[in-house]
Amino acid sequence: MCGIVGYIGNKKAYPILIKGLSRLEYRGYDSAGVALLEDGKLNVFKRQGKVLDLTNFVADNPTNGTVGIGHTRWATHGLPNDINAHPHTSGDGSITLVHNGIIENYDILKKELIKRGHVFKSETDTEVLVHLIEDIKEKSGASLAESVRIALNEVHGAYAIVVISPEEPNKIIAAKKSSPLVIGMGEDEYYLASDATPIIEYTKNVVYLEDEQIAIIDRYNGLRIFSISNKEVSPYVQELEMQLEELEKGGYEHFMLKEIYEQPRAIHDSFRGRLNAKEGWVSLGGIKDYEDQIAKANRIIIIACGTSWHAALVAEYYFEDLARIPVEVEYASEFRYRNPIIRKDDVVIAISQSGETADTLAALKMAKEQGATLLGIVNVVGSTISRVTDAGSYTHAGPEIGVASTKAFTTQLVLLAMMALSIGKKRGTIEDKKFQTLLDEMEALPSKIEQLLKSDDYIREVSAIYKDAPNALYLGRGSSFPIALEGALKLKEISYIHAEGYPAAEMKHGPIALIDENMPVFVIATQGQNYEKVVSNIQEVKARKGKLIAIVSKGDTTVREIADHVIEIPNSDEFVVPILATIPFQLISYHIAVMRECNVDQPRNLAKSVTVE
């Protein structure tokens, strides 16, 4: 949800900013802009569209400055056009800034500033903030940093900002609250970004700014950090574990395809040091100290959004079946406004790829105030959710750049499965034999997914048949029902085909009315306790001439006779089927989106990290 970058050092800032913005483009791609300080002059370039549109626009303009800031926007306040694009500049041209987040009281502030003679060009909340800083600076004669600090005490909402001024040309001021900001520490140079991806190729040493902290970066005097109440704090420098190659497409046409193919490796990384089937153990270091508390929990509440919420739904089956602890799964956005009953012996688990999702964060904070134990299942190392929770485990999927979540989802499932297994073992609610079988099944996942990916050509052929369908239905039962939801979400978000996911048996209570010879119905019909019931549901679809694409266990003959197409997955215990069945659905969405010439990695209207409500 908007990406911001900044640079101060001895190199030309412009190429660094542009490269950084390209890395952050997954956060928003409505417009892009940069501001550079050169010989005491401020040059601002901004353009509706992608980073590439910005670079074409800038083309022959002067871009030699060694201090600069940049922004890629996901529009909240105001249309995605040139005027609303960041950076936004004060009326007198002396201050310019980029912002990620929302200034909630912008309207009141704007009215007051208008009364004091300020004139606004854009519809954004961000422009109000830069005018407020200008107003304070002008009236108080304070430095830029002090004016920013005073202004931030007056705003409500979320912000990560980076500010520069031709009047203080050797400084960058940055601050954050509820939106992320990372500072890369080079040799006499500093990089700023919404996440570490633009920084990794220059330095691995970073400082994650905390909420309500202001960083003053001076070309000659280095980095100093203050709280918003003006107390100096020592910067905590961490080393990044990320590798640069993880951020490249590596020969694939799209990041999404690369990330689908990375799943065997990602799942393997999730297991590393945590699961050993041969020795018969599973153990998550990150939650070790909280295992007793989880095992004794009155109930587990899982909060998440989107695809991560689908992982939570699968986890409900895992925890209730293996650990016999009641689970409630909540949309973070609903939970936080519902006045829910949270008790001290509840364990709240937040699932989030980015670790920055605003609704999930707010729901967590509410649960914390009510005394619950908070755990995080997060992919992005060092992200806000990983820091506000009491404990948690990283999924170790590696950077996920494609906006549609793929490997982050399957590694979430793997982690939740490991958690349920270890808590079930601790509570004695899982038999030894079953425990061992499920460990074996888990450990076999990477090679089974490798096998499954070999069907990609066939899956592409099947996808081609349905690429022009206006609607699609996805069905599953038990722990495969959330995978039907996930399949439908993936199809709609990247190919813009309307799709619905349903529990297979619910179809007859309404959606069956939609079925005719033009309706593709994707169904998970693998061997397991619901198999025969699903076969009956499939018959109901066929009786109404629906087109059936079934995911079946290898060697299945019954469904093969009824369905139009079958996609086989390796024979497995039902426990791991949700993870395996996800892969063909990811590939179907991917191929259909490519055939429909959609922007697979950056679907319209979406952003990878949703840091606004």
Position among 215, 297, 312, 404 found at the interface with ligand F6R (CB under 6 A): 404
- Amino acid symbol at 278: K
- For 491-530, the DSSP string reads HHHHH--EEEEEEGGGGGGTGGGG-STT-EEEEE--SSTT
Q: Is 2 considered catalytic here?
A: yes
What is the rounded CA–CA span in Å between residue 389 and residue 397? 20
Position among 307, 422, 572, 586 found at the interface with ligand F6R (CB under 6 A): 307
Q: Please tell me the total number of residues recorded for the chain in this structure.
A: 613
Position among 22, 43, 55, 308 found at the interface with ligand F6R (CB under 6 A): 308
Residue with the two structure tokens 């996800």: 582
- The DSSP symbol for 210 reads P
Q: Which is nearer to ligand F6R, 7 or 481 (CB)?
A: 481
Interface mask (CB under 6 A) for ligand F6R, residues 447-476, using x and -? ------------------------------
Indicate which residue of 425, 490, 547, 608 is catalytic. Answer: 608
Q: CB of 610: closest distance to ligand F6R in angstroms?
A: 5
Q: CB of 236: closest distance to ligand F6R in angstroms?
A: 24
Query: How many residues sit in the footprint of ligand F6R (CB under 6 A)?
Result: 14
Indicate which residue of 2, 448, 492, 547 is catalytic. Answer: 2
Token pair, residue 207, equals 């400082």
Residue with the two structure tokens 């609704």: 359
Q: Which is nearer to ligand F6R, 63 or 354 (CB)?
A: 354
Question: In the window 481-500, what residues touch ligand F6R (CB under 6 A)?
Answer: 489, 493
Q: CB of 368: closest distance to ligand F6R in angstroms?
A: 17
What is the rounded CA–CA span in Å between residue 581 and residue 439? 19
Handedness of CA 271, 274, 278, 280 (dihedral sign): negative
Q: CB of 322: closest distance to ligand F6R in angstroms?
A: 24
Buried b (16+ CB within 10 A) or exposed e, 321-337: bbbebebebbbbbebbe
Q: Which is nearer to ligand F6R, 89 or 383 (CB)?
A: 383
Q: Which is nearer to ligand F6R, 96 or 360 (CB)?
A: 360
Instruction: Give the closest residue to 381 by CA, choosing from 346, 406, 356.
Output: 356
What is the rounded CA–CA span in Å between residue 340 and residue 323? 24
Handedness of CA 570, 574, 575, 579 (dihedral sign): positive
Q: CB of 180: closest distance to ligand F6R in angstroms?
A: 12
Q: CB of 405: closest distance to ligand F6R in angstroms?
A: 3
What is the rounded CA–CA span in Å between residue 47 and residue 30? 9
Stretch (H or E) spanning 363 = helix 358-369
Q: CB of 399: closest distance to ligand F6R in angstroms?
A: 12
Chain centroid, CA 74 distance in Å: 14
- Crossing angle for the helix pair 456-466 and 577-595, nearest 10 degrees? 60
Q: Which is nearer to ligand F6R, 488 or 552 (CB)?
A: 488
Interface mask (CB under 6 A) for ligand F6R, residues 326-365, using x and -? --------------------------xxx--x--x-----
Q: Near ligand F6R by CB under 6 A, which window of 198-206, 270-278, 292-300, 303-311?
A: 303-311
102: which strand partners? 158
Position among 305, 377, 415, 504 found at the interface with ligand F6R (CB under 6 A): 305
Strands 190-193 and 182-185, by their bridges, are antiparallel
Strands 67-73 and 3-8, by their bridges, are antiparallel
Measured between alpha carbons, how far is residue 406 from residues 19, 149, 355, 380 in Å? 25, 40, 16, 14
Q: CB of 241: closest distance to ligand F6R in angstroms?
A: 19
Instruction: Give the closest residue to 87 by CA, choosing from 123, 44, 121.
Output: 44
Position among 172, 374, 610, 612 found at the interface with ligand F6R (CB under 6 A): 610
Q: Which is nearer to ligand F6R, 21 or 377 (CB)?
A: 377
Q: Which is nearer to ligand F6R, 152 or 367 (CB)?
A: 367
Residue nearest to ligand F6R (CB): 306
Position among 48, 213, 393, 405 found at the interface with ligand F6R (CB under 6 A): 405
Residue 48 interacting with ligand F6R (CB under 6 A): no
Q: Which is nearer to ligand F6R, 48 or 357 (CB)?
A: 357
Calculate the dihedral angle through the C-alpha atoms of 244, 247, 250, 251, rounding to the nearest 10 degrees. Answer: -140
Instruction: Give the closest residue to 180 by CA, choosing from 396, 386, 412, 405.
Output: 386
Q: Which is nearer to ligand F6R, 360 or 572 (CB)?
A: 360
SS percent in the chain: helix, strand, coil, step 5: 40, 25, 35
Q: CB of 351: closest distance to ligand F6R in angstroms?
A: 7
Measured between alpha carbons, how far is residue 241 from residues 196, 560, 584 in Å? 10, 46, 31
Q: Which is nearer to ligand F6R, 121 or 365 (CB)?
A: 365
Q: Near ligand F6R by CB under 6 A, which window of 170-178, 201-209, 302-310, 553-561?
A: 302-310
Q: CB of 195: closest distance to ligand F6R in angstroms?
A: 11
What is the rounded CA–CA span in Å between residue 610 and residue 360? 10
Q: Is 608 considered catalytic here?
A: yes
| Catalytic center residues | 2, 608
Positions touching ligand F6R (CB under 6 A) are 305-308, 352-354, 357, 360, 404-405, 489, 493, 610
